[in-house]
């Protein structure tokens, strides 16, 4: 099956490239998914599946006016553009999302049946993208949290700060499940 990996240079995208070396891999510079014209004019004829690892994941910056626009352009509009291409060219779409689409108040695990109730601009942009992904007739939605792979992530940030400071201040109002990017990539196989 010929796959296109979108968001190929991110933490998940790098692992998908390693797992699917025969796939074509693109990042923002090769295919700006927020540009509907670029997505429409892309040559989809050689693909059967889109593995979407592209995301604007700067949660705190998503609360700023500039960050909010970027989050919605990639996480919502970009996914809508990919879903449109999947519909038009009869491709499968695998879309990776986040637990930020939930309110975080539930005790225990969330399931696919739980209602979404995002509490941040990032979460709302991802929820909109999830909804857009479902417009592709053959779609798969994978939700994850706290991805840890090659590149910037919470663990690397804490290790860096710990080596630089005697004391590190960290917010304590969030819960998450660290997910290795390699494990997440393997789940899309």
Cα 131 to Cα 78: distance, rounded to the nearest angstrom: 12
Tally Cβ neighbours within 10 Å of residue 90: 11
Whole-prediction pTM value?
A: 0.90
Over residues 69-108, the pLDDT tens digits come to 999 999 999 999 999 999 999 999 999 999 999 988 888 8
Q: What is the CATH number of the domain that holds 101?
A: 3.40.50.720
Tokens of 135: 């417009």
- The parent domain of residue 44 ranges over 3-187
Active-site choice (56, 110, 122, 140): 122
Q: How many domains does the chain have?
A: 1
100 is catalytic: no
The secondary element (H helix, E strand) that includes residue 84 is: helix 79-89
Over residues 20-60, the pLDDT tens digits come to 999 999 999 999 999 999 999 999 999 999 999 999 999 98
């Amino acid at each position: 099956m010929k796959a296109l990996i979108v968001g190929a240079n991110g933490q998940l995208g790098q692992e998908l490239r390693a797992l699917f070396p025969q796939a074509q891999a693109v990042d923002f510079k090769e295919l700006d998914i927020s540009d509907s014209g670029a997505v429409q004019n892309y040559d989809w004829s050689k693909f059967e599946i889109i593995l979407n690892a592209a995301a604007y994941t700067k949660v705190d910056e998503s609360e700023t006016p500039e960050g909010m626009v970027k989050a919605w352009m990639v996480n919502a509009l970009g996914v809508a553009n990919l879903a449109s291409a999947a519909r038009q060219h009869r491709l499968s779409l695998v879309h990776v999302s986040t637990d930020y689409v939930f309110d975080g108040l539930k005790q225990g695990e969330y399931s696919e049946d739980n209602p979404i109730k995002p509490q941040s601009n990032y979460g709302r942009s991802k929820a909109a993208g999830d909804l857009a992904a479902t417009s592709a007739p053959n779609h798969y939605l994978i939700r994850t949290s706290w991805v840890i792979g090659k590149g910037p992530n919470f663990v690397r940030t804490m290790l860096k700060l710990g080596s630089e400071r005697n004391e590190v201040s960290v917010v304590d109002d969030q819960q998450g499940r660290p997910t290795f990017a390699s494990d997440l990539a393997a789940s899309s196989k």
